[in-house]
Structure 1
Amino acid sequence: MSAPESAGRAQPPVGIDELLERVRAGYARIAPQEAYEEARAGDALLIDIRYAALRERDGLVPGAVVVERNELEWRLDPQGSHRLPEATSHDLRIVVFCNEGYASSLAAHSLHQLGLHRATDLVGGFQAWREAGLPVE
């Protein structure tokens, strides 16, 4: 079969567990304490992608920037016209977190595809942050 014929063929289906494993193999995830220390030192930007109901129920991580998941790439692309003021470089250290650390892995992968090579996500998400006794307001 020639390359053009095979290019149009669909890839075999992948389950979400396998997809997460593949995605996470592409970067080093970060533990809550390490994320806290990097953010506190000004070396990382914490991005909260949890939806509003979870933020209202459980609280916020002080200093984290709330970016709805459906806006994430537009807000963090340093070349984008809708970027956050903090999104100034592809070298920016970004730590994305969701509630439990699943959706954030897919989000971090998406940021890598934009060239944000230092993007990562928080192992265990907000719940792990809170369980580690780190600040919540």
Structure 2
Amino acid sequence: MLCRTLCYTGIMADDITESPLPEIDPATALDWQMRGDAVILDVREASEYDFENIPGSVLLPLSFLDPKRAPAIFHNKVVVICAMGKRGAAAQKQLTEYGMLEIYNLTGGIAAWKKAGLEVQGGKYEAMDYSI
């Protein structure tokens, strides 16, 4: 399947090199946050963040992310988080391409965080209010 897609575009599979960006598991992210070694940057939209978020995380939606205006908190390691990891990877790529170092994507996003039994907070989450 990959060959068909790449052959159609004229790109040879051998010409593609992947440079995977670093990912991190929820337990390590929590450890870094608790020691003050990392900031957890939530790139979901405000409504998602209000529903549930990681205590101590910073909200900066991907739709507003501008690496040139990155807050001063980025002098530490940054763990980027979203719902499942896709937007986190996009934000991680933007920040890394801008020259920021030690940007990690939380593997599996907040879903993995909750699956690991780690704490989340948020008005609607605490009230179990799933209305839109």
Normalising TM by the smaller chain, what interval? 0.7 to 0.9
Shift of 1:26: 3.0
Q: Which amino acid aligns with 2:63?
A: N
**Separation in structure 2 between the aligned mates of residue 116 and residue 40 of structure 1, nearest angstrom:** 22
Provide the TM-score with structure 1 as the length reference: 0.70
Distance 1:68 1:13, change over 3 A: farther
Q: Which amino acid aligns with 1:97?
A: I
Shift of 1:13: 8.7
State the match for 1:6 in structure 2.
none
Distance 1:13 1:83, change over 3 A: farther
Question: What's the Cα RMSD here?
Answer: 2.4
SS at match of 2:72: coil
State the match for 2:101 in structure 1.
117
Identity of aligned residues (%): 27
Provide the TM-score with structure 2 as the length reference: 0.72
Pairs aligned (count)? 109
Unmatched tracts of structure 1, length 5 or more: 1-11, 15-20
2:26–2:106 Cα contact (<8 Å) kept: yes
Q: Which amino acid aligns with 1:69?
A: L
Unmatched tracts of structure 2, length 5 or more: 1-8, 12-16, 122-132
Q: Which amino acid aligns with 1:128?
A: A
State the match for 1:63 in structure 2.
56
Question: 1:104 and 2:91 equivalent?
Answer: no
Higher strand share: 2
2:83–2:109 Cα contact (<8 Å) kept: yes
